[in-house]
Chain A
Amino acid sequence: MPNQQASQLNRVFHGLADPTRRAVLERLSGGPAAVSELAEPFRMSLPSFLQHLDVLESCGLVKSRKAGRVRTYRLTPQPLRVSEGWFEKQRAIWNRRLDQLDSYLIDLKEQK
């Protein structure tokens, strides 16, 4: 389970690692939208944009549905919810604690 969760988190972070994809997520947090609507603000070819949507869908952050000729995307925030299991929670807590430690240590070092 912990490994499964870790790999899911890795996929999620991969999904979030791109500004276009983050902008799409932001847009979708306002409600479902069609591909044409999502693509509009971006200056890129449709195939490239569709690749971003594929990445988001494969990491479970969005889901799409086709009705006629229109494909609509919506947000699926479930993968980001921390697992209900006790062990995964412990892992999440420790990871977060150590994240805080590491950034604190870097701050300390820079102060010196």
Chain B
Amino acid sequence: MSTTMIQPNSALDLVLERVVDVPSKLVWAAWTKPEHIKKWFTPAPWTTVDCEIDLRPGGIFRTVMRSPEGQETINVGCYLEIVPNEKLVWTSALGPGYRPVIRAAGTASCEELYFTATILLEARGAVTKYTAIAMHGDEATSQRHEQMGFYQGWGTTLDQLVAIAKML
């Protein structure tokens, strides 16, 4: 019954906390329904063009991301833990049915980086506090990821920031 404790390592794991002015049911839906995921999951200018969700432990979580140049990347993961409106855990290290992922050496995609993500939701009246935890394996994995340069181009430029700030 009891769920596993998560112990983030500050050198490898990210812990992000947010409070958003919507009910937890809506936050849960945004994380668990493909039509929602496609709207927000991938940081712009990349987009999510497809998403498949089989919401049960061992079920698939697949997204297809498209770069601004039109290159598509498929990410396949597997859900580990599902507590509706409270907790969602998935990993990219396992495929559907918990089958360990084998990846060809040298493939330049973001799939190289194994991670386990945990989303914790806490209803506070009409408001929801949620915590996103992304756990990573080790430095070697992370450095390999860095060498791929996959995330180059996602940097924020002054122009973009000024443009955003003007709209505030």
**Chain A residues with a Cβ under 8 A of chain B:** 2, 12-13, 16-17, 22, 25-26, 29, 61, 75, 77, 80-82, 85-87, 89-98, 100-106, 108-109
Q: Using a CB-CB cutoff of 8 Å, which residues 120-168 of chain B contact chain A?
A: 132, 134, 136, 142-143, 145-146, 151, 154-159, 161-162, 165-166, 168
Main secondary structure of the interface of B (DSSP, over half): mixed
- Contact partners of A101 in chain B: CB under 8 A: 20, 30, 40-41
In the complex, A80 Cα to B165 Cα: how many Å?
13
Contacts A100-B43, A101-B30, A106-B21 given; indicate if A94 touches B156 (C-beta within 8 A).
Answer: no
Chain A residue at minimal CB-CB distance from B17: A98
In the complex, A13 Cα to B156 Cα: how many Å?
13
List, sorted by A's number, 11 A–B pairs whose CB atoms are closer than 8 Å.
A29-B158, A81-B155, A82-B155, A87-B14, A89-B154, A90-B134, A91-B16, A93-B43, A97-B40, A105-B30, A106-B22
Q: At the interface, yes or no: B36 with Cβ under 8 Å from chain A? A: yes
Return the contact of B22 from the options A61, A82, A85, A105 (Cβ within 8 A).
A105
Q: At the interface, yes or no: B103 with Cβ under 8 Å from chain A? A: no
**Chain B residues with a Cβ under 8 A of chain A:** 11-12, 14, 16, 18, 20-22, 26-27, 30, 36, 39-44, 132, 134, 136, 142-143, 145-146, 151, 154-159, 161-162, 165-166, 168
Main secondary structure of the interface of A (DSSP, over half): helix
Instruction: Contact check, A90 vs B14: say whether CB atoms are below 8 A apart.
Output: yes
- Contact partners of A93 in chain B: CB under 8 A: 43, 151, 154
In the complex, A61 Cα to B42 Cα: how many Å?
28
In the complex, A108 Cα to B21 Cα: how many Å?
11
Instruction: Contact check, A22 vs B22: say whether CB atoms are below 8 A apart.
Output: no
Q: Which A-B residue pairs are the 10 nearest by beta carbons?
A: A96-B43, A82-B155, A86-B146, A100-B40, A104-B40, A16-B165, A77-B158, A105-B22, A109-B22, A86-B142
The smallest beta-carbon distance between B115 and chain A, in angstroms, is 8
Contacts A16-B161, A16-B165, A22-B166 given; indicate if A105 touches B154 (C-beta within 8 A).
Answer: no
Return the contact of A91 from the options B14, B30, B146, B165 (Cβ within 8 A).
B14
The smallest beta-carbon distance between B117 and chain A, in angstroms, is 9
The residue in A92, A100, A102 that gathers the most chain B C-beta atoms within 10 A of its C-beta is A102
Return the contact of B161 from the options A2, A80, A94, A106 (Cβ within 8 A).
A80
